[in-house]
Amino acid sequence: MSQSKRALILKSAQDHGVLALTSYCNANCLFCSNKQNPPGIQTVSICPQKLDEIDETLEYLAPRGKIIIGESATRICEGEPFSHPEIMEILKKTRMHFPETPIQVTTNGSFLDVKTVKALKELEPLEVYLSLNSSNAEKRRNVMDDDRAEVAVQSPFVLQNFKVPYHGSLVAVPEICGFEDINQTIRLLEKCGAQTVRIFLPGYTRWSGKSKPVNKVNHSELISSLNSANPAFEIPVSVEPPYVSDLLPVTTGVIKGSPADIAGMKKGDLLHRVSGVKPWSRSDAFSLCTQKEDPKVEIVRDNEKKRLFLQKKKHQNPGFVMDNDIEKERVHKAVERAKSCKAKKVLIFTSTLAKAFIKKAVEDIGGSDIEFDLKGIKSEYWGGNIEAAGLLMVCDFEKAAEEFFRGGGRTELVMIPGEPFDYAGFDMLGRNYKEIEEKIQSKVVVV
């Protein structure tokens, strides 16, 4: 293995709590993002890590927080962790090294048979993120090309039987599976004790090909199908991306048996105060409740205020689910950065996906003597339906800045999101954000 790959693995462990095991995956999903990467994209594929390499990586993980396995949180292409021939030995090593640290394993479920799940139960605290995609074995094979589909569709029952906490997810491909299959899959996960369900809209790029079924998913149709489920789902169901346009801390669901559930919280509750503090956003509300021990919560339900008491430990998940927006601290830092640069006119570039709620955030917190101009950027490089900030490129920012200045725009400072860049400031094409500054001859900072 090259030194640069090894360094990235260790850096991912140190900064993000990621224990990278392998890039190999036994499935061949229609919606796999790795297959859509054109030449030049700087992602990293790794062979199954040897046990001595795992031992070294464990030294870079922090005992606090969570150890993440199988989740694509860095530039490393994450494969199926249970395809690793030494997976159970690795998990045992991890637990011995960190006796109390929670372990999160994301898996497609192909290898979650009785023997494996029974062994996972011995490694608590551990939770599974199960990418089921369909509860019908034939339809799962159609979208994932999975020759172990029968094992996967039985895995929710096995996880429930051994009382291993887990969350379910699926990528919506109604053109192949139909909306009814999506609802049936959620219903099965609900029946088998999953804590939450996440539904992902599949991404496609200008390299994907227009005939692919993943290109035909309509967000509003999906939401309509979910809302028309009869009876309504009791399990919290989130759609990603959520397309939020405000900062109202409203719950999208409550996990059964959680502190929030026991206290009486319900889907649609607005968190008005947490231990006397008024939450500023969804992220702020969730963070406040997570950090505090036994928080007293004031909610608004049907225009009436109610007081609830959440009996929980400090840093324990309160058990309600909210869509993701933005942390108050991040906006404060942006304002302080503008002040330190002595800028009175600031241009903020953001993704089109986040523009609406970031606009609201800047209006709520922005410095009174600073004029902020907010522009949402399309992902011209990727094209398709890609809207996430993490996939914007230097070339996207350069084009947007040139259009801004060509249209008569003026600014003393340009702010861009940090999601597209690695720790050294490079995007996925290997270009540094400082190149934007050189191109437009205006100061650029990452926030």
Residue 4: the pLDDT is 84
Residue 135: the pLDDT is 98
Are residues 443 and 341 in contact, defined by beta-carbon separation less than 8 angstroms?
yes
| C-alpha distance from residue 129 to each of 23, 194, 197, 345 (Å) | 17, 9, 9, 44
Looking at the DSSP assignment, which residues form a beta bridge with residue 427?
none
Q: How many CB atoms lie within 10 A of CB 419?
A: 14
Residue extent(s) of CATH 3.20.20.70 domains in the chain: 3-240
Residue 268: the pLDDT is 96
Mean residue pLDDT across the chain: 94
Which CATH fold would you assign to the domain 3-240? Answer: TIM Barrel (3.20.20)
DSSP line for 301-346 = ETTEEEEEE----TT---SEE------HHHHHHHHHHHHHTT-SEE
| C-alpha distance from residue 47 to each of 6, 25, 50, 69, 84 (Å) | 11, 11, 9, 15, 9
Residue 1: the pLDDT is 65
Q: Is CATH 2.30.42.10 the classification given to domain 253-321?
A: yes
Measure CA of the first residue to CA of the last residue in the chain; give whole Å. Answer: 33
Residue extent(s) of CATH 2.30.42.10 domains in the chain: 253-321
Residue 65: the pLDDT is 85
- CA torsion sign, 255 to 260 to 261 to 264? negative
Residue 365: the pLDDT is 79
3-state secondary structure of 416: strand
Q: What is the pTM of this model?
A: 0.93
| The token pair that represents 435 in the structure block | 């190149």
Q: Which residues contact 153 (CB under 8 A, 6 or more apart)?
A: 109, 132, 134, 135, 136, 137, 140
Residue 203: the pLDDT is 86
Beta strands per DSSP E along 59-165: 67-69, 103-107, 126-131
Residue 270: the pLDDT is 98
Residue extent(s) of CATH 3.40.50 domains in the chain: 328-446
Q: Is CATH 3.90.320 the classification given to domain 328-446?
A: no
Per-residue pLDDT tens, the chain, 447 aa: give them: 677 899 999 999 999 999 999 999 999 998 888 877 888 898 999 999 999 999 999 999 998 889 999 998 789 999 999 999 999 999 999 999 999 999 999 999 999 999 999 999 999 999 999 999 999 999 999 999 999 999 999 999 999 999 999 999 999 999 899 999 999 999 999 999 999 999 999 988 888 765 566 767 888 899 999 999 989 999 999 999 999 999 999 999 999 999 999 999 999 999 999 999 999 999 999 999 999 999 999 999 999 999 999 999 999 999 999 999 999 999 999 999 999 999 999 999 999 999 999 999 988 876 678 999 999 999 999 998 899 999 999 999 999 999 999 999 999 999 999 999 998 999 999 999 999 999 999 999 999
pLDDT digits (tens, 9 = 90+) for 339-396: 999 999 999 999 999 999 999 998 887 667 899 999 999 999 999 889 999 999 999 9
225 phi, psi to nearest 5 deg: -65, -40
